[in-house]
Amino acid sequence: MCVFCAAVPATVAVGANLNAKQEKARRDAIAEGKDPSFEKPIVKATLVVVVLLAVCSVIYHILLFPILRV
């Protein structure tokens, strides 16, 4: 498996973990009666990175792999 194809599920896992931690911190703050802190756009950032990795993977597999294969 190429590095781009392997990075997609790893990126999704890291993004899901970070989002779950942020949601837990938000729920804990609300339960304590505090104002939840500013939420970071983790889901959007993860989506952007996954799309970029997918584009890089397509470019690699269609354009570069046939040329570099010996």
| Amino acid 4: pLDDT | 87
| Amino acid 38: pLDDT | 84
The structural domains of the chain, with segments of one domain joined by +, span: 3-68
d(CA 65, CA 70): 10
| pTM to 2 decimal places | 0.81
pLDDT tens-place values along the chain, 70 residues long: 789 889 999 999 999 999 999 999 999 999 998 988 888 999 999 999 999 999 999 998 898 877 877 5
d(CA 10, CA 12): 5
**Which of 52, 27, 26 has the alpha carbon at shortest distance from 39?**
26
